């Protein structure tokens, strides 16, 4: 029987995903050329502070650049096409996969979807990553995103591996063991998996807005014999009692939500932690840690890659927010991922 996770794609789907992954890597020399042209044409130490003005200044300086036009075309095609191509690869394996999908709806994990949940306007219907329909685009979006987009494409862009990064973050929590862990924005369960492997004795709970992502997390847990409790709830309003967890964690949730919601999420993490409990949140590189040109690169790629809240959240000082809501012993380190930790006072 076919495995649920990391499936062998059919030849056509595999070739298409290889093409997408290689195209991402092949764009590196084009980006280098663009950077060289910017350095030739502009004083990069004195680019405008305002990010819109900075973008306009660079657009203007590169208006006749073939490298810049090519970079835009490649990026645009990649962003718009990866969802469809991954869906087509899934369709080819679906007949063989269906019995596995059916079988893994049963097992030790539990899933509570809430059809009455009022989905926040910043999330509902937003075409994140330029995927039509966003996180809940179609019935099998959880599988397509978790197993195909992430494992067959995104993972190949990150030397060292984004799965290894998740494992590293899970291991950065201060204690060697926890009893009750909450993963905020658990999506299809990749970071939840790292938490489960690191803290095998903990009861792990995940909250997530997307029903389709949760369904795949549920199948993943069942396939591995994990008793995760999964809920369709917002990270800023989890509904759990005060003091329900000894660790609250998240991996790359923050850039998916507006800046004011980030503070609400941190406050909710504090509320649901027991006194003395730990928080560890991780996300993208802070703009404050980058030079002006690198910020332009990150900002541009987020804007055209369908990340509506990247700019406002990458500009946040997460340690300051953690302290503001009441965490103590706060630390914030790392370029990617940037990791903020704190403890709820006793």
Ligand X SMILES: C[S@@+](CC[C@H](N)C(=O)[O-])C[C@H]1O[C@@H](n2cnc3c(N)ncnc32)[C@H](O)[C@@H]1O
- Cα-Cα-Cα-Cα torsion 161, 304, 251, 2, nearest 10 degrees, comes to -60
Contact 166, 191 (CB under 8 A): yes
Coil, helix or strand for 111?
Answer: strand
CA 1 and chain centroid, separation: 30
* Under rule CB under 6 A, residue 213 binds ligand X: yes
CB of 208 to ligand X, least distance (A): 5
Q: Which stretch binds ligand X (CB under 6 A): 10-18, 171-179, 246-254, 290-298?
A: 246-254
CB of 132 to ligand X, least distance (A): 15
CB of 119 to ligand X, least distance (A): 9
Contact 86, 148 (CB under 8 A): yes
Going by C-alpha positions, the residue among 185, 320, 346 that lies closest to residue 250 is: 185
Contact 285, 338 (CB under 8 A): yes
Given the complex with ligand X, which of 24 and 308 has the nearer CB atom?
Answer: 308
Contact 119, 77 (CB under 8 A): no
Which residue in the block uniquely carries the two structure tokens 């790629």? 301
Cα separation, 28 vs 149, whole angstroms: 20
Q: Which stretch binds ligand X (CB under 6 A): 61-69, 209-217, 281-289, 336-344?
A: 209-217
What is the per-residue binding string for ligand X in 79-118, x denoting contact by CB under 6 A?
----------------------------------------
131-190 residues in contact with ligand X (CB under 6 A) are: 135, 166, 185-187, 190
Going by C-alpha positions, the residue among 287, 246, 278, 249 that lies closest to residue 265 is: 249
Given the complex with ligand X, which of 62 and 316 has the nearer CB atom?
Answer: 316
* Under rule CB under 6 A, residue 204 binds ligand X: no
Given the complex with ligand X, which of 30 and 211 has the nearer CB atom?
Answer: 211
Q: Which stretch binds ligand X (CB under 6 A): 38-46, 96-104, 202-210, 221-229?
A: 202-210
Given the complex with ligand X, which of 166 and 344 has the nearer CB atom?
Answer: 166
* Under rule CB under 6 A, residue 235 binds ligand X: yes
- Number of residues this chain uses to bind ligand X (CB under 6 A): 21
* Binding residue (CB under 6 A) for ligand X from 37, 147, 208, 278: 208
Cα separation, 337 vs 339, whole angstroms: 6
* Under rule CB under 6 A, residue 207 binds ligand X: yes
DSSP type of residue 147? I
Contact 284, 314 (CB under 8 A): yes
CB of 263 to ligand X, least distance (A): 12
* Under rule CB under 6 A, residue 231 binds ligand X: no
Given the complex with ligand X, which of 243 and 308 has the nearer CB atom?
Answer: 308
Going by C-alpha positions, the residue among 41, 44, 65 that lies closest to residue 296 is: 44
* Under rule CB under 6 A, residue 253 binds ligand X: yes
Given the complex with ligand X, which of 30 and 213 has the nearer CB atom?
Answer: 213
* Under rule CB under 6 A, residue 249 binds ligand X: no
Sequence-distant (6+) residues with CB within 8 A of 76 are 304
Going by C-alpha positions, the residue among 249, 248, 245 that lies closest to residue 168 is: 249
CA 161 and chain centroid, separation: 14
* Under rule CB under 6 A, residue 221 binds ligand X: no
Binding site for ligand X (CB under 6 A): 123, 135, 166, 185-187, 190-191, 207-210, 213, 234-236, 251-253, 256-257
């Amino acid at each position: 029987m076919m495995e649920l996770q990391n499936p062998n794609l059919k030849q056509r789907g595999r070739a298409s995903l290889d093409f997408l992954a290689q195209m991402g890597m092949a764009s590196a020399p084009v980006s280098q050329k663009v950077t060289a042209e910017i350095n030739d044409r502009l004083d990069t130490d004195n680019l405008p502070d305002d990010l819109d003005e900075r973008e306009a200044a660079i657009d203007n300086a590169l208006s006749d650049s073939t490298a810049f036009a090519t970079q835009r075309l490649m990026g645009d095609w990649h962003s718009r096409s990866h969802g469809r191509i991954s869906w087509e690869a899934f369709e080819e394996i679906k007949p063989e996969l269906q019995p596995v999908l059916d079988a893994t709806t049963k097992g030790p994990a539990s899933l509570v979807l809430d059809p009455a949940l009022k989905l926040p306007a910043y999330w509902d219907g937003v075409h994140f990553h330029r995927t039509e329909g966003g996180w809940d685009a179609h019935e099998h979006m959880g599988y397509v995103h978790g197993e195909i987009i992430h494992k067959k494409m995104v993972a190949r862009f990150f030397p060292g591996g984004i799965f290894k990064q998740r494992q590293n973050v899970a291991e950065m929590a201060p204690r060697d063991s926890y009893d009750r862990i909450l993963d905020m924005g658990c999506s299809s369960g990749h970071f939840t998996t790292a938490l489960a492997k690191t803290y095998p004795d903990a009861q792990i709970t995940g909250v997530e807005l997307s029903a389709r992502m949760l369904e795949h997390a549920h199948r993943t847990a069942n396939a591995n014999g994990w008793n995760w409790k999964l809920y369709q709830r917002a990270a800023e309003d989890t509904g759990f009692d005060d003091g329900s967890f000894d660790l609250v964690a998240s991996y790359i949730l923050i850039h998916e939500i507006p800046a004011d919601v980030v503070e609400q999420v941190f406050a909710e993490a504090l509320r649901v932690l027991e006194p003395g409990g730990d928080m560890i949140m991780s996300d993208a590189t802070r703009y404050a840690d980058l030079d002006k040109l690198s910020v332009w690169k990150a900002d541009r790629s987020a804007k055209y890659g369908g990340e509506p809240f990247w700019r406002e959240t990458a500009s946040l000082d997460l340690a300051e927010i953690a302290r503001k809501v009441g965490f103590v012993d706060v630390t914030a380190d790392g370029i990617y991922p940037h990791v903020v930790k704190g403890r709820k006072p006793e």
